[in-house]
Structure 1
Amino acid sequence: MLLKSNGDVIASDVEYAKSMFSQAKGLMFRSSVPDSYAMIFILPSPKKISLHMLFVPFPLDVLFLGADKRIVKTTYLRSWVGLGDSGEKIKYIIELPAGAVSRSDLSVGDHVMFDGS
């Protein structure tokens, strides 16, 4: 479960990408994800990250989080051609279906909660 700090549900169908392979693959080659979905990338240590949407045929909203699980940046990535970067060192990346950031009223500075460290 992915929650806002006030307990509101952002996503109930959560998948974790912890291994190097699962992080490299991400959501490539999937045809879609449900509206209640989130993929959470847990990096071994904080670092700057760049993302691409090659082989991802649907758009995404992305949250970049610091080690304290606070949002440091949000971005929208277009299907197939989207590119994005964290801009600073981060510990977590959360990929959500496009529109999830506005639906959940998320913004920089917000704290999110999830299992897995």
Structure 2
Amino acid sequence: MQLVHHSMVERGDDSETGTDAVSHEDVLATDVDLAQSILSQTRGLMFRRSFPDNSALVFLFDTAKIRDVHMLFVFFPIDAVWVVDDVVQRVERLRPWRSFAREECDLLIELPAGTADDVEAGDRLVLEGE
């Protein structure tokens, strides 16, 4: 399974429409870990000593509602992405031990810090190969 980022990228001026936008696709993670059990969802990234590049921890929920992310006992910074119906709602860089954030989502994704630098609200994030 992999996590794919879909975005629209403006290429500059087009004489007829003003701007020319094209769809852009990037694979953000190829090592996707699904937190499916209550225990794995509660533990998240706590107590792990590293979070390798190309990794993602994904929390998949049946319905969209406000979901929290805390960094207590997490030893490294991460990027957290809240998604509803494959559309990014919020992206936040969280610091070890101190950060806390919440947003509505039906898909919550935790990535190594810097991985989501090009991801913005309104972009699409899709799990492929489920």
TM-score normalised to structure 2 length = 0.80
In the alignment of these two chains, the number of paired residues is: 112
Identity fraction in percent:
38
- Distance in 2 separating the partners of 1:115 and 1:56: 27
Structure 1's 69 and 116: CA in aligned 2 closer, same or farther, altered over 3 A?
Answer: farther
1:18 is displaced (CA, Å) by 1.6
Q: Which has the larger share of strand?
A: 2
- Distance in 2 separating the partners of 1:26 and 1:46: 19
User: 2:102 maps to which residue?
Assistant: 85
1:19 is displaced (CA, Å) by 1.7
Task: Structure 1: state its 5+ residue gaps.
Answer: none
User: 1:2 maps to which residue?
Assistant: 3
User: 1:109 maps to which residue?
Assistant: 122
TM-score normalised to structure 1 length = 0.89
1:57 is displaced (CA, Å) by 0.2
Whether the 8 Å contact between 2:36 and 2:60 is mirrored in structure 1 is yes
Question: Could you say what secondary structure the match of 2:120 adopts?
Answer: coil
CA RMSD, Structure 1 to Structure 2 (Å): 1.5
Larger radius of gyration: 2
